[in-house]
Amino acid sequence: MKAYLLSAFGVIFLAVITSYIVPEGKLKKTINFVLRVVCITVLLSPVGNLISLDGATDGEAFDYDYICSVYSANQSLLLQNKLSDELGIDCDCVVAVIFEDDSIKENGVTVYGIKDADERKIIVEYLKELGYININVNEESR
């Protein structure tokens, strides 16, 4: 907002100074008209940023790290519940998520809190069937 106000002030100040410097005549009318159009354009630029005709936004409008963290937390909870419901194994899950090629992709899964090697094998096989990659199963609690 500060940058917008400074640029608006600067353009208006430049327009006023220029209107006093330019001599009277047809050239002054033309220059004043152009300067008024520039001032109006600068003053209305925030309104133009709110309106998007094609619905497209620039890449900086989204915080992909935040989106990935929320998606990761959601997928981790879903997987944790799935392991508990279908296999009867209570554990903590962390699904790693990355933003790549304009989409959010699961990059791996880590499971914590496994009690023995048998549970570890069962979980690894189950996660492979689900299509997970980069599977880490730890027998220690997190």
- Answer yes or no: do 33 and 72 share one domain: no
- Answer yes or no: do 133 and 83 share one domain: yes
Looking at the domain assignment, is residue 28 inside a domain? yes
Does the structure show a pLDDT above 80 at 14? yes
Name the residue range of residue 44's domain: 2-51
pLDDT of the residue at 87: 86
Range from 20-24, 49-53, 109-113, 128-132 carrying the lowest mean pLDDT? 49-53
Average pLDDT, whole number, for the chain?
A: 82
Looking at the domain assignment, is residue 58 inside a domain? no
**AA identity, residue 129:** E
Looking at the domain assignment, is residue 8 inside a domain? yes
- The string of pLDDT tens digits covering residues 91-105 is 888 888 888 887 888
pLDDT of the residue at 1: 73
Structure tokens at 12: 């208006």
pLDDT of the residue at 51: 67
Q: What is the average per-residue pLDDT within 107-116?
A: 84
- Answer yes or no: do 68 and 132 share one domain: yes
Q: What's the length of the chain?
A: 142
Structure tokens at 80: 């944790």
- Label residue 142 by pLDDT band (50, 70, 90): very low
d(CA 43, CA 131): 53
Q: What is the average per-residue pLDDT within 12-27?
A: 88
d(CA 112, CA 136): 9
Q: CA Rg, the chain, in Å?
A: 30
**AA identity, residue 35:** L
- Answer yes or no: do 79 and 114 share one domain: yes
- Answer yes or no: do 45 and 87 share one domain: no
Q: Distance between terminal CA atoms of the chain? A: 44
Looking at the domain assignment, is residue 106 inside a domain? yes
Residue-wise burial string across 100-109, b where 16 or more C-beta atoms lie within 10 A, e elsewhere:
eeeebebeeb
Q: How many domains would you assign to the chain?
A: 2
% of residues, the chain, pLDDT over 90:
2
Looking at the domain assignment, is residue 57 inside a domain? no
- The string of pLDDT tens digits covering residues 36-93 is 999 998 888 887 766 655 555 554 566 777 888 888 888 888 888 888 888 888 888 8
- Answer yes or no: do 132 and 75 share one domain: yes
pLDDT of the residue at 67: 81
- Answer yes or no: do 69 and 97 share one domain: yes
- Answer yes or no: do 95 and 71 share one domain: yes
- Answer yes or no: do 28 and 76 share one domain: no
- Answer yes or no: do 38 and 95 share one domain: no
